[in-house]
Amino acid sequence: MSEWPQGRSNDNRGDRYGRGSASAQPEGARVMRQVRRGEQSAPPYGGPQQGGGYAGVPQQPAYGNDYDDGSGYDSGYNTGHVYGGGPGGGGPGGSRERGPRPAPNWRKRIKWTAIVVLSVLIVTSVSTYFWADSKLHRDVDLSKVIDRPSGGSGTNYLIVGSDSRKGMSDDEKKKLHTGSAEGQRTDSMMILHVGDNGDTLISLPRDSDVEIPSYQGSTSGKVYQGTGRHTKLNAAYAEDGPTLLVRTVEFNTGLRIDHYVEIGFAGFADIVDAVGGVTIDIDKGFKDKYSGADFTSGKQTLNGEQALAFVRTRHAFAASDLQRTKNQQKFLAALAHQVATPSTVLNPFKLYPTLGAGLDSLTVDKDMSLWDLASMFFAMKDVNGGDGTSMNMPVSGSTGGNLVWDKAKVKTLVDELKNDQKVTVTGN
């Protein structure tokens, strides 16, 4: 097996050019065409040429933006034709131009923005309503009031500021000059009539002389017969609370009370502080050691402690309780104005603390809704802003230190309120 087949012996391999050739020279038909580049001769077939490419292989056309790091390597990526990276993009030579970007659909954007904003407002309003509604203390049951007068047009609220010290610490009582008296009394009482022909706010002096009628006990349910006994109006509240007070007001005026609202000392001061203080113009300075009042004349901003002293003071005035009721109405006007300003309503960091302090400190009747409460608030704001009537209950004189109402004027006033007429009666 040491011999090669004929024509392929090992001895003849070195004398031949290529396989099967007897000549040391290449056959004519097999002579390869020489490719010249400059003065250099082409390398053997299949060898690399200087500058890239191989001998005998036609040079491939170069496309724009080919990767060339100087080694002659062609990355093979055609950014112009394949990927649209050439001029114009999209085809050979960049002949197809890209169209302009479509204009944004502003109508659609505005529509969806409005939908989102409206949805947020609805969710926030509904959540706020239920949160606020849960804070109301509906503890007064007006169904326990007996022998009630017939109703009329409009809505009548009995608004009471009590001297309740419930939940107050000894330091708070000292700071607010409330004392530590047992039981509860009323420091202010007002009837607010809300109607179509103007709203009317009537202050009821706590020293008003009234008759205590027959009434049903708020806790016992027992009916106590009236004996013609006369006393101060605030004594009715001290005797059996809100239901007897409502019964006494209705009996002595003939006006049906639709809703009851009460706020205590601490709650009143908290509301004033939550709203950031209330600015008021005091005509004449005064001091009162009982309430802690110490005011100079002029415009000033009162905090909760100062506001409580302002509305409680009566010993510093010759007109005593009548002047106090006027100051109460004046301050409530300023408070309502402050609460309704955009700086409070549109600022959640002020609005929610104000609502929380106000609602959490209110005691209302079982049928009171937030809408009723809002109606009462805005009516008070309008009345004290000059769009309604603000007055004291007409008084004809006094007896034994109690203020006697002018019966003729009171009857005319009640008739006008029942018929929702513009009030013509004036008070003290």
Per-residue pLDDT of the chain (428 residues; tens, 9 = 90+): 444 444 444 444 444 444 444 445 544 444 445 544 444 444 554 455 555 554 555 555 555 444 444 555 555 545 544 444 445 444 555 555 666 777 778 888 888 888 888 888 788 778 777 777 888 889 999 999 999 999 889 999 999 987 665 555 666 656 665 555 555 667 789 999 999 888 999 999 988 999 999 999 988 889 999 999 999 999 999 899 999 999 999 999 999 999 999 988 778 888 899 889 999 999 999 999 888 889 999 999 999 999 999 988 888 888 888 888 888 888 888 888 888 777 777 777 787 788 887 787 789 999 999 899 889 988 888 887 777 888 999 999 888 889 999 999 999 999 999 999 989 988 87
Residue 296: predicted pLDDT: 93
- DSSP at 240: H
Q: What CA–CA distance (Å, rounded) separates 140 from 244?
A: 11
Pairing of strands 362-365, 259-263: antiparallel
Q: Are 418 and 152 in contact (CB under 8 A)?
A: yes
- Which residues have CB under 8 Å from 263's CB, separation 6+? 160, 161, 162, 271, 358, 361, 362, 363
Cα–Cα nearest to 392, from 200, 204, 250: 204
Residue 286: predicted pLDDT: 92
Q: What CA–CA distance (Å, rounded) separates 329 from 314?
A: 14
| Burial of residue 252 (number of CB atoms within 10 Å: 0-12, 13-18, 19+) | buried
Structure tokens that stand for 425 in this block: 């009666």
Q: What CA–CA distance (Å, rounded) separates 49 from 200?
A: 110
Using only C-alpha atoms, the chain has a radius of gyration, in whole angstroms, of 49
Write down the residue that tokens 């407002």 correspond to: 121
Q: What CA–CA distance (Å, rounded) separates 384 from 378?
A: 10
Structure tokens that stand for 228 in this block: 């013609």
Structure tokens that stand for 69 in this block: 């790091």
Task: Give the C-alpha distances (Å, rounded to integers) separating 137 from 195, 217, 228, 359, 364.
Answer: 26, 20, 33, 8, 6
CA 47 and chain centroid, separation: 83
Q: What CA–CA distance (Å, rounded) separates 258 from 241?
A: 17
Backbone region of residue 354 per phi and psi (left: phi > 0; alpha: psi in -120 to 50; beta: other values): alpha
- Which residues have CB under 8 Å from 400's CB, separation 6+? 209
Structure tokens that stand for 299 in this block: 């415009």
- DSSP at 40: B
Per DSSP (E only), the strands in 49-154 are 137-140
